[in-house]
Structure 1
């Protein structure tokens, strides 16, 4: 099939599908087949302006609508999404490559935030203090900020947008979403679902594209905030560019997540956890465990258990009965695979080489099997870089102190875990580790929706984490109102400074 005959995915602006003003198209692959399955419009600055313009108009009426009305729409969206989640999972698998069960898990975690947003009447309540001065009351209001921009990555085309837009919409804002051009169809699908749920046109808009669309959104004068998830260099760029124009910014960056294994840990639990956290979604998770810090006394036994489990994994087409799917593109697969040779050249030992697998799928798919590398030097690029693929590195450490020091010395501070049965060691670890999300015998410590997601150091730019109370505060602005209702016997003029008597 020629590229010209492939279907083209359009933008979603002001409640309708539209091709916009641009002429450029991007290729959307099926990673398990290695072929282009559709094309996507690459938006222009004019397309972003059209979407923002629609959002500006819609935000006024939507923000003034009653909480009851807004909640009816959010609840309806939740019900529709839950009823049709299998349909969305199939779309994710076809474009992102992750296996169907993992796509379903992504949607389930996104649904948690939708359900959290259903509590907006409680979350958005202000506070009241009566008679702070004689006859004077003070109360606070939380109001929407207007038009919010969301820029989401390829690895979670449904969940990451849902970290932001349910809360933003429930709070009374309008949204312009720029999804990854690598797997864009989930966003248009969710836009149509919002329309079916009764959301007014213009409240939720989708503009596809690349850097041109991103820059237009970052600098648009009518966009009040930017929410971003992606690599650290781009997160820093997004933060600096958008904040320079006065926008609120929450920019979640990269990660290099370590799992520290102490000698008293249950090694079977550790091995299961390392495999699950290292190779789920082909390692294309910002919360994936990419480094196991194994204390010398248990390192050999642990590596043997991990390798044994890895050899049972089935890599192949996510629509079949497999454990792990392909990587997102051929170029990314080649980049991740190149780290195996880098590690070997740096003196590491390749225990399991994922380049040797025979996948259960089309030979043209973007395959790389689970890879395990032992005795990785901390100077090697396979340790210092965010590899973002199914490569698990083992660094041997002498004990707790060395492991903690390595984690804290890293540039990232997204997620980490410790495996131990020593409560004192775990308590000290959670206190002293310089990381935003910590697991104790939990390998992927992604907080539930009523807490907030985000790291430290180069893993987060801006002051606000995603969802939870941080999300509610980020998508609202507070007013404090001081009130006095005077009775007919009030006094006359008094030019002195007002006192709280």
Structure 2
């Protein structure tokens, strides 16, 4: 058995104007969720700290916005190479501060690197349009222009990937950027900025400020910040959206989810069960793309329940650096208890717990925040566990008469982040594509995770804003279009 790393990562500092500096206010400890031992301490940024970061960004923006776009993307090429070279180190750091498995950590970083790659194509992505003779003797051209300083507030569950949904695009479009990572998992973000510091990116273009709620409020209220991106729970996303908009900022706020899988009788049931369990339990269920409700056509419901239970029994709960581990610890004791409370709620509501992972113990990691798979059958739409985001390794199964009823059940959810369908019929896939109310859809795939060259969709209470993360949507978020009208009358 691998031993937990005893390295102390020291103090997590801010990075402002190319310099590392201690935040002004006392913060909190950073714990390894597999042991609950302290591995670092992060300070919280004051209003003055945030103001310093904004001022540095504004000063850098004056020159950066005028830098030729081909030059702006060169530091991103360097950054991509550094990310590739340090991927193993970053992955181990992710395991220590978050708890996910080493395979999940490497997969997360791969997704982040893909966004850097896409942002390197900014000379094409920023092209707008040109029409000759739009009117008599008049040509018109649309030009994308950067706006200034942007900020992102990112969550604990993907500290390597989600900052890269935003940072490379903001930089490549000619803006300055401030990252406020989760105070629960700030070490990966610090390493990202250490790598950025090795590139040719000018001082002041990117800043890192650590902190909690007060730091976020300062960002939302600061006059020098043009827009804010956020990923987190729906209640917080809605608050971020309202506060940022009230302060005249652009805002994209990704909220929570309650994603569904639909399995019809024409599906490959073994494959569907494997992917449904993987989707629900990956990253210990702590992800907004977790499909934690499976609606199964009733003719194959009993067979599918058995397959899911068997698949859950094959999972290995343990420390993320152990190669055979498939489910790591939850982020904190408080969150572990919250998920356990949901399991108790499901039992009290009348759902049958057919696989109970609550008594799992891990030798050598008795103080960790571990919870094994918890599988419910006969869940109904009125139950709390079928309506609320649990963010843990909990999966609920329910029967439906057919695909029409299954889609109707799914669409009752207040959320609209993602959904998957397992089927062998093109007609059912077409119905799903047309009728499912979610922004990320997958057919015969367990997780509807778009590649970096597509935007990350979200609908209903899963997203607040107009332009999403990744790809062309985020390019539009970071730029304004100026229309240039040109006419040269004959002398």
Query: What band does the TM-score fall into relative to the shorter chain?
Result: over 0.9
Aligned residue runs from structure 1 range 126-141, under 5 A: 126-141=128-143
Q: Does the residue aligned with 1:354 lie in a helix, a strand or coil?
A: coil
Q: What is aligned with 2:472?
A: 469
Residue from 352, 360, 371 that aligns with 1:368? 371
How far is 1:361 from its partner? 4.5
How far is 1:360 from its partner? 5.2
CA contact 1:314–1:360 (8 Å) conserved in 2: no
| Alpha-carbon displacement from aligned partner over 1:407-427 (angstroms, at most 9, x marks no partner) | 111100000011111110110
CA contact 1:347–1:377 (8 Å) conserved in 2: no
How far is 1:377 from its partner? 2.5
Aligned residue runs from structure 1 range 86-235, under 5 A: 86-235=88-237
| CA distance in structure 1 between the aligned counterparts of 2:370 and 2:153, rounded to whole angstroms | 27
CA contact 1:317–1:361 (8 Å) conserved in 2: no
Q: What is aligned with 1:403?
A: 406
Q: Does the residue aligned with 1:483 lie in a helix, a strand or coil?
A: strand
Change in 2 beyond 3 A, CA 1:484/1:30: same
CA contact 1:317–1:360 (8 Å) conserved in 2: no
How far is 1:334 from its partner? 0.8
Q: Does the residue aligned with 1:258 lie in a helix, a strand or coil?
A: strand
CA contact 2:24–2:44 (8 Å) conserved in 1: no
How far is 1:6 from its partner? 7.8
Aligned residue runs from structure 1 range 10-409, under 5 A: 10-22=13-25, 24-321=26-323, 322-359=325-362, 361-409=364-412
CA contact 1:56–1:146 (8 Å) conserved in 2: yes
- In structure 1, runs of 5+ residues without a counterpart are 490-501
| CA distance in structure 2 between the aligned counterparts of 1:107 and 1:261, rounded to whole angstroms | 30
Q: Does the residue aligned with 2:368 lie in a helix, a strand or coil?
A: coil
| Alpha-carbon displacement from aligned partner over 1:434-461 (angstroms, at most 9, x marks no partner) | 1111111111111111111021100010
Of 13-22 and 155-164, more deviation after overlay is shown by 13-22
| CA distance in structure 1 between the aligned counterparts of 2:70 and 2:9, rounded to whole angstroms | 43
| Alpha-carbon displacement from aligned partner over 1:210-256 (angstroms, at most 9, x marks no partner) | 11000000111010111100000000000000011111111000000
Aligned residue runs from structure 1 range 391-470, under 5 A: 391-470=394-473
| CA distance in structure 1 between the aligned counterparts of 2:57 and 2:364, rounded to whole angstroms | 43
- Structure showing greater radius of gyration is 1
| CA distance in structure 2 between the aligned counterparts of 1:132 and 1:101, rounded to whole angstroms | 54
| CA distance in structure 1 between the aligned counterparts of 2:130 and 2:233, rounded to whole angstroms | 42
| CA distance in structure 2 between the aligned counterparts of 1:361 and 1:64, rounded to whole angstroms | 56
Of 221-230 and 374-383, more deviation after overlay is shown by 374-383
CA contact 2:24–2:46 (8 Å) conserved in 1: yes
How far is 1:356 from its partner? 1.9
CA contact 2:419–2:440 (8 Å) conserved in 1: yes
Count of residues in Structure 1 that have an aligned counterpart in Structure 2: 483
| Alpha-carbon displacement from aligned partner over 1:109-151 (angstroms, at most 9, x marks no partner) | 0111110001001111232222333432211111111100100
Q: What is aligned with 2:4?
A: none
CA contact 2:23–2:44 (8 Å) conserved in 1: no
| CA distance in structure 2 between the aligned counterparts of 1:15 and 1:200, rounded to whole angstroms | 8
Change in 2 beyond 3 A, CA 1:143/1:386: same
Q: What is aligned with 1:497?
A: none
CA contact 1:31–1:327 (8 Å) conserved in 2: yes
| CA distance in structure 2 between the aligned counterparts of 1:365 and 1:133, rounded to whole angstroms | 69
| CA distance in structure 2 between the aligned counterparts of 1:99 and 1:338, rounded to whole angstroms | 24
CA contact 2:280–2:292 (8 Å) conserved in 1: yes
| CA distance in structure 1 between the aligned counterparts of 2:9 and 2:454, rounded to whole angstroms | 43
- In structure 2, runs of 5+ residues without a counterpart are 1-7
Q: TM-score scaled to structure 2, two decimals?
A: 0.96
Q: Does the residue aligned with 1:448 lie in a helix, a strand or coil?
A: coil
How far is 1:358 from its partner? 2.6
| CA distance in structure 1 between the aligned counterparts of 2:215 and 2:27, rounded to whole angstroms | 13
Q: Does the residue aligned with 2:466 lie in a helix, a strand or coil?
A: coil
Q: CA RMSD in A?
A: 1.2
Q: Does the residue aligned with 1:86 lie in a helix, a strand or coil?
A: helix
| CA distance in structure 1 between the aligned counterparts of 2:244 and 2:279, rounded to whole angstroms | 33
| CA distance in structure 1 between the aligned counterparts of 2:41 and 2:214, rounded to whole angstroms | 17
How far is 1:50 from its partner? 1.0
| Alpha-carbon displacement from aligned partner over 1:8-32 (angstroms, at most 9, x marks no partner) | 211111111101322x221211001
Q: Does the residue aligned with 1:307 lie in a helix, a strand or coil?
A: helix
| CA distance in structure 1 between the aligned counterparts of 2:93 and 2:20, rounded to whole angstroms | 18
Q: TM-score scaled to structure 1, two decimals?
A: 0.95
CA contact 2:23–2:210 (8 Å) conserved in 1: no
| CA distance in structure 2 between the aligned counterparts of 1:452 and 1:190, rounded to whole angstroms | 22
| CA distance in structure 2 between the aligned counterparts of 1:7 and 1:471, rounded to whole angstroms | 34
| CA distance in structure 2 between the aligned counterparts of 1:301 and 1:196, rounded to whole angstroms | 55
* Moved segments of 4+, more than 6 Å: none
How far is 1:345 from its partner? 0.9
